[in-house]
Structure 1
């Protein structure tokens, strides 16, 4: 019984960390992965570096972003931070 009482605070602390830190981060990562997998041509996006542009082509793990005066830049899908024209 004393062992259970001494382990209880440790278990409680782990549960708090899980529900406050770990679980929300997993949800955000899942949502981000889903958004990146649904990228299509002509989507307006922002990269993690702050580049704003329009998707010109999509490959398995790369996207071509058209920006500015017709410049086309190739990025990894993981570099896309958000899609601007999705609801």
Structure 2
């Protein structure tokens, strides 16, 4: 009986881990695998990389997504995180050349000597605040 009493805390700890961690994680994995298997042509899906696209072709391992009109991407079925119930409208998004680095729209008709943040530079090199070239290492 003494040996059983010593094992009881370990059994209880394992049971707690199983109930709190292993079982819910296994359930999430099964739901994800089921959702990935149910993807059909016409669904709008979200990939693990954050890409949203419409399924145009569906195979057993790969999907062909249309991420914008005329732009297709072949991805592994396992990259699908979920099928979007409320489709995202991507038709009113600005073109890539109309976006600044932070995602806001900018005017690309500016002079060639103007950087994205509106500062100007001379001699084809973007100078730092102290006038040095931030793209070249300093020697000291």
Aligned residue pair count: 86
The answer as to 2:16 corresponding to 1:16 is: yes
Structure showing the higher helix proportion among its residues: 1
* Greater Cα radius of gyration, structure 1 or 2: 2
Structure 1, unmatched stretches of 5+, are none
TM normalised by structure 1 equals 0.95
Structure 2, unmatched stretches of 5+, are 87-140
TM normalised by structure 2 equals 0.60
Q: Deviations over 1:61-82 (max 9, x none)?
A: 0000101232000000000111
Instruction: Between the two structures, name the one with larger relative contact order (CA 8 Å, sep ≥ 6).
Output: 1
Residue 5 (structure 1) aligns with: 5
Structure 1 residue ranges, 4+ long, deviating more than 3 angstroms after superposition: none
The answer as to 2:61 corresponding to 1:76 is: no
Structure 1 residue matching 2:7: 3-state secondary structure: helix
